[in-house]
């Protein structure tokens, strides 16, 4: 992996295949630096997912699909006709990179299903075409999610969003921010409040950056400022993305989302989850079964390299939480909208 500048990236280029290489916009250093890293092998892509060079559930899935294509290229170069055995270690590496976003496992399963149909010939072109399809389909899904989500917003209003569920977090356009983009184009967004999203600051570093590039009015707030803003009565919707939605409509998303949903219900504010169906895991009955990633407490104990807590202080750093379906007003997918999700309504959506 190396730093490369073959193009000037926009938020829609967080993941890009070009010149037979995978390029990832390094989300760890935004917005201070706009840097693109180049990847030629799956092990490095798995590391990029773990280290959050690329993050956000759909973007992780898209990057993993390209990672499988790279793995196929490496496996055929090393083992020729025996490439199917040789590719396994890389598939495991990719699957082990992060535990919560189900799009990762969805993408690997889709690539595996294709692998099962292939013969001993060089698989690279076929795997790459599938990865490109995963990428294109995600972009198209987000456009549709944007339209459907914006249609639910019936009057101009202020919106709170949490973390970053924008172009950067997807194959392009965004899920929650796709809804915001479409609603803004329709004149329905008076202002977006971006929670800063401790400890990784996706709201401050990524969402504020994306929305400012689109000239969508955005105000950054500390996570703990959301309740007092809601009490002022101008916010009509909370719009967030998801990392995994279970068969009953429970939603895992960035830590702090659950609290926002509780506060939104208290204030009579509606709560929208925007996500492609690749984020829905019908194999899990409820959110209690979702593996929640715990990251290094160092992410919490320091900020930008500066300590913010006493040395030796114990800390917990779960990076996702589960919002119960009962607090969700709408799940918006490319296949349609589920209002007040129940197992029956989720089954009807997923067929």
Ligand X SMILES: CSC[C@@H](O)[C@@H](O)C(=O)COP(=O)(O)O
Quick one: which of 58, 146, 149, 287 contacts ligand X (CB under 6 A)?
58
Are 226 and 271 in contact by the 8 Å Cβ rule? The answer is: no
State which of positions 250-279 bind ligand X (CB under 6 A).
253-254
Kindly tell me the sign of the dihedral angle through the C-alpha atoms of 201, 202, 203, 208.
positive
98 marked among binding-site residues = yes
List beta partners, residue 246. 281
Bond prior to 199 in cis (omega within 30° of 0): yes
Count the Cβ atoms, other than its own, within 10 Å of residue 337. 17
Instruction: Note whether 55 binds ligand X by CB under 6 A.
Output: yes
Comparing CB distances to ligand X, the nearer of 84 and 295 is 295
Q: Is 301 in the site for ligand X (CB under 6 A)?
A: no
Q: Which is nearer to ligand X, 57 or 152 (CB)?
A: 57
Point out the catalytic residue in the list 12, 138, 243, 281.
Answer: 243
Q: Helix H segments across 153-223? A: 176-185, 202, 208-213
Distance CA 326, CA 62 (A): 30
DSSP string for residues in 262-283 = HHHHHHT-EEEEE--GGGEETT
Nearer to ligand X, 253 or 323 (CB): 253
Q: Is 14 annotated as a binding residue?
A: no
Nearest distance from residue 103's CB to ligand X, in Å? 8
Which CA distances in Å does 340 have to 116, 245, 250, 268, 269?
A: 38, 13, 11, 14, 14
Tell me, yes or no, if 243 is annotated catalytic.
yes
Judge whether 56 is annotated as a binding position. Answer: yes
Size of site (CB under 6 A) for ligand X? 17
Minimum CB distance to ligand X smaller for 242 or for 328: 242
Per CB under 6 A, the segment of 63-71, 186-194, 240-248, 282-290 that binds ligand X is: 240-248
Is 57 marked within a binding site? yes
202 annotated as ligand-binding: yes
Taking the C-alpha atoms of residue 276 and residue 162, their distance in angstroms, rounded to an integer, is 17
User: Is residue 345 part of an annotated ligand binding site?
Assistant: no
How near is the Cβ of 270 to ligand X at its closest, in Å?
Answer: 18
The residues that bridge with 157 in the sheet, in sequence order, are: 189
**Considering only residues 243, 281, 321, 329, which one is a binding residue for ligand X as defined by CB under 6 A?**
243
- Least Å distance, CB 257 to ligand X, is 7
For the CA atoms of the chain, what is the radius of gyration?
20
Q: Would the annotation count 85 as a binding residue?
A: no
- CA atoms within 13 A of residue 253's CA, in its CB half-sphere: 33
Instruction: Scan residues 83-112 and list those touching ligand X (CB under 6 A).
Output: 101
For residue 9, state whether it binds ligand X (rule: CB under 6 A): no
Point out the residue whose Cβ comes nearest to ligand X: 241
Looking at residue 293, the DSSP 8-state letter turns out to be: P
- Give the tokens for residue 332: 């918006």
List the interface residues with ligand X, window 155-174 (CB under 6 A): 163, 165, 169-170
Of 87 and 94, nearer to ligand X (C-beta) is 94
The distance of closest approach from Cβ of residue 101 to ligand X in the complex, given in angstroms and rounded to an integer, is: 6
Strands (E), the chain: 2-4, 15-18, 21-25, 36-39, 157-161, 189-195, 218-221, 235-240, 244-246, 251-254, 270-274, 280-281, 302-303, 306-307, 320-323, 330-333, 336-339
Binding mask 195-234 for ligand X (x = CB under 6 A): -------x--------------------------------
Annotated binding-site positions: 55-57, 98, 202, 253-254
Active site residues: 243
> What residues line the site for ligand X (CB under 6 A)?
55-58, 101, 163, 165, 169-170, 175, 202, 241-243, 253-254, 319
Annotated binding-site positions for substrate: 55-57, 98, 202, 253-254
């Amino acid at each position: 992996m190396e730093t490369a500048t073959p193009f000037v990236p926009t938020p829609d280029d967080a993941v890009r295949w070009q010149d037979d290489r995978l390029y990832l916009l390094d989300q760890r250093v935004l917005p201070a630096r706009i840097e693109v890293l180049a990847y030629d092998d799956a092990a490095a892509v798995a590391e990029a997912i773990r280290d959050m060079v690329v993050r956000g559930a759909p973007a992780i899935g898209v990057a993993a699909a390209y990672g499988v294509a790279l793995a196929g290229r490496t496996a055929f170069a090393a083992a020729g006709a025996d490439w199917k055995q040789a590719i396994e270690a890389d598939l495991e590496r990719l699957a082990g990179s992060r535990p919560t976003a189900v799009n990762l496992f969805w993408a690997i399963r889709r690539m595996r299903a294709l692998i099962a149909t292939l013969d001993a010939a060089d698989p690279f072109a076929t795997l790459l075409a599938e990865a490109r399809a995963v990428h294109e389909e995600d972009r198209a899904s987000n456009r549709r999610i944007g339209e459907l989500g914006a249609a639910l917003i019936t009057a101009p209003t202020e919106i709170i969003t949490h973390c970053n569920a924008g172009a950067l977090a997807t194959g392009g356009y965004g899920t929650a921010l796709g809804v915001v983009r479409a609603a803004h184009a329709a004149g329905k967004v008076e202002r977006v409040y971006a929670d800063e999203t401790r400890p990784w600051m996706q709201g401050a570093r990524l969402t504020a950056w994306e929305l400012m590039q689109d000239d969508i009015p955005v105000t950054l707030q500390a996570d703990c400022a959301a309740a007092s803003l809601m009490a002022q009565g101008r916010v009509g919707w909370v719009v967030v993305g998801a990392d995994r939605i279970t068969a009953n409509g429970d939603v895992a998303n960035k830590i702090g989302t659950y609290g926002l949903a509780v506060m939104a219900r208290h204030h009579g504010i509606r709560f929208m989850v925007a996500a492609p169906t690749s984020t829905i895991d019908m194999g899990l009955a409820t959110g209690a079964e979702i593996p929640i990633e715990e990251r290094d407490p160092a992410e919490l104990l320091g900020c930008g390299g500066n300590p913010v807590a006493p040395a030796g202080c114990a800390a917990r750093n779960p990076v996702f939480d589960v919002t119960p379906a009962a607090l969700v007003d709408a799940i918006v997918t490319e296949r349609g909208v589920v209002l007040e999700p129940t197992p029956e309504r989720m089954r009807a959506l997923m067929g």
